[in-house]
Amino acid sequence: MSSVIVVGSANVDHVVEIDHRPVGGETVLGSDLVLTPGGKGANQAVAAGLAGGNVAFLGCVGTDGSGDLLIGSLASAGVDLGALSRVEAPTGVAMIMLTPDGENSIIVAPGANRHVTPELVASQAELLADARVVVAQLEIPLESVVEAVWQAPNARLVLNAAPAATLPVELIRECNPLVVNESEAAFLLGTEETDDGAALAAALLELGAQSVVVTLGGAGAYVAEAGQEPVHVPAVRVDPVDTTGAGDGFVGALAVRLDEGASLAEAAGFAARFAAIAVTRRGAQASYPRRDEVAKPA
């Protein structure tokens, strides 16, 4: 049985490179369109598989060619697909604009991801009951995430609260850790966005999370656990080419090291090195390194 279960979305990324983001009413010319496997859930599952985890993915894709593309990518990373459903709906799509600085803007059309219902999650009760770590995000219905937590009472929940959404207090209390970037943290806290990761992490603990990871891109991350001061985890300095999926790679790698018994700070350090390699390559899942590529710091 798999020890890390990723419950979430699967999309095909439609990527176009542009020299600047258009303003209202503006048309810009871009590169040729490139299609690559993505989606926060599938990305995290592929990352966890490549990072050496024993991983299963619970989600939905369509019966179209895009679904075939995602199944091939997940399988090539060693992810167990026994809980993946093919449904009569188009596979989810993410439309991504990529600028020369490596930053991206994304619009998601959920498609088959809407079929990841609480009933579908409950049908995998046996799989979830044996999980040690459950990883979830918010590109599927929130009630399905809650159902996954209910069905996995013995598992550690790694919740990547993205895209930002209001979370029930009961779900926040299960997070160990809650993983967010600075804008997602500010949304949950109802405050102005800030790059003070330590303050954000401390405030999120006060909401009830068991532990927190606040990611800050090139500034690294802050990790915090109940009763302890936030700890800074530095980023690895690289020249980014494409940041698409880097945060998902971080989450997948983090989950694997937590499953292996690493401390939160140790796991975040490994995840930071994993993500640093990913941003030097194009694509989401295609950019992720295998475990033996993620060198330990000197």
Q: What is the CA radius of gyration of the chain?
A: 18
Q: How far apart are CA 155 and CA 171, in angstroms?
A: 13
With 0-12 / 13-18 / 19 or more C-beta atoms within 10 angstroms meaning exposed / middle / buried, residue 239 is exposed
Alpha helices in the chain (DSSP H): 40-50, 65-76, 118-122, 125-129, 142-151, 169-172, 182-189, 197-206, 246-259, 264-278
Closest CA to 147 of 120, 109, 127: 120
Nearest to 45 by CA among 117, 125, 139, 114: 139
Q: Is 190 exposed, middle or buried (0-12, 13-18, 19+ CB in 10 A)?
A: exposed
| Lookup: tokens for 117 | 């219902």
**Cα–Cα dist 156/153, whole Å:** 8
Count of CB atoms situated within 10 Å of the CB of 27: 5
Q: Are 297 and 269 in contact (CB under 8 A)?
A: yes
Q: How many CA atoms lie within 13 A of 104 on its CB side?
A: 26
What residues are annotated to the active site?
248
| Selection from 102, 146, 40 nearest residue 48 by Cα | 40
